[in-house]
Structure 1
Amino acid sequence: MANKKTLFNLLFLLLFSILVAAITFAATLWYSQQNAPSASMNAWLASLFQSEPEATRQPAFHSLDKVVVSVKGKRQTHFVMLELAVQTHYPERIKQIDSYMPLVRNALLKMFSKKKYEELQNQQTIEQLQQEVKQTLTDAFANTTIARDIDDVLFTKYVIQ
């Protein structure tokens, strides 16, 4: 008999706690709406109820700024000009990549500093180079949310001079 009474009391306390928490949350929302909430409170409330944007069916492409890097040759220094586009299914989230262009340039500069002009001239390396650029950018964005949104990196222009 004591076990049933204890179980009933625990169940009652659990339900009572849930009810108090729900009333407190509702009262907080009501109070914040009645007293002209600040911008930070509005942002917090919006983020609380906002869901992640949905992926688009068709991939979207976001062009990055042109990048020019130098590479060493046997007799002189040469230049590589790249225009890249990022393929994504989250075009709204990928827009913030533009503010990370210094990070993109730095990562590509480091990658190309290890390359030689003669190996870049070989047309068979374009696919391999494209994969290497994608991996370099994915690694550069590893500590950001952008990495998850990059499906592919495409060369839209590739010039070696």
Structure 2
Amino acid sequence: MLRRLLILIVLLIVVIGAAIGGTIFFMSRNAASTTAASAAGKTAQATTPVPAPVPAPIFAELDPFTVTLYGETRNRILYTAITLRLNHADDRKQIQDYMPEVRDRVLKVLSSQQLSAIQTTEGRLALSKDIKESLSKPFVAQLPAPNVADVLFTAFVVQ
């Protein structure tokens, strides 16, 4: 009977030891794979280039324009609001400083348009290009020309 009790105790110690050993083995294996996965994630993060921050857009909004367009049969009124997209804050300051000349140049371009041309998408693109070219000339010889990236129509009504 003592021998049976001794065998039972030894068997119980072996089973408990195997359970503890198996738990430690699987826990260390899981921890190793987690560590490897996190290391691989850190490596992937380290090799992935961080995108550069997108610069804030620089806009200069012009007061709306109203011009008379002369057509073949009758005259029409063009009402348009324009916003300029600029490349540098210095360009915005220059546009604001020379606003009377900016408005004069834009009015000259707008008033020279043909009614039939600006009522098409292609005509509006050409008008945008003409305004951009007009504003991309220096206002005074001592200053560089403002760098106008785009001319945006925020309102465009022909009546």
- Shorter-chain TM range is 0.5 to 0.7
Q: Aligned pair count?
A: 106
Identity %: 28
Instruction: Provide the C-alpha distance between the structure 2 equivalents of 1:125 and 1:110, rounded to a whole number of angstroms.
Output: 16
The Cα shift of 1:140 comes to 6.2
SS in 1 for 2:72: coil
Instruction: Provide the C-alpha distance between the structure 2 equivalents of 1:159 and 1:147, rounded to a whole number of angstroms.
Output: 30
What TM-score do you get using the length of structure 1 for normalisation?
0.54
Equivalent position amino acid for 1:113 in 2: S
CA change 1:121–1:93 in 2 (3 A) is closer
CA change 1:115–1:149 in 2 (3 A) is closer
Match of 1:59 among 24, 33, 57: 57
What TM-score do you get using the length of structure 2 for normalisation?
0.55
Equivalent position amino acid for 1:84 in 2: I
The Cα shift of 1:72 comes to 0.3
Match of 1:153 among 127, 151, 154: 151
Match of 1:138 among 96, 119, 136: 136
Instruction: Provide the C-alpha distance between the structure 2 equivalents of 1:102 and 1:142, rounded to a whole number of angstroms.
Output: 13
Deviations 1:22-58 (A, max 9, x none): xxxxxxxxxxxxxxxxxxxxxxxxxxxxxxxxxx833
Matched residue, 1:68 = 66
8 A contact 2:85–2:152 mirrored in 1 = yes
CA change 1:150–1:115 in 2 (3 A) is closer
What are the ranges of 5 or more consecutive residues in structure 1 without an aligned counterpart?
1-55
Instruction: Provide the C-alpha distance between the structure 1 equivalents of 2:126 and 2:118, rounded to a whole number of angstroms.
Output: 10
Equivalent position amino acid for 2:114 in 1: K
Match of 2:117 among 99, 116, 119: 119
The Cα shift of 1:73 comes to 1.0
Equivalent position amino acid for 1:116 in 2: Q
The structure having more radius of gyration, on CA atoms, is 2
The Cα shift of 1:141 comes to 3.5
Instruction: Provide the C-alpha distance between the structure 2 equivalents of 1:124 and 1:117, rounded to a whole number of angstroms.
Output: 13
Matched residue, 1:79 = 77
Deviations 1:70-93 (A, max 9, x none): 110122221212211121232255
Equivalent position amino acid for 2:153 in 1: F
Which ranges of 4 or more aligned residues in structure 1 deviate by more than 3 Å? 140-146
The Cα shift of 1:118 comes to 1.6
Q: Structure 1 residue 100 and structure 2 residue 109: aligned? A: no
8 A contact 2:63–2:81 mirrored in 1 = yes
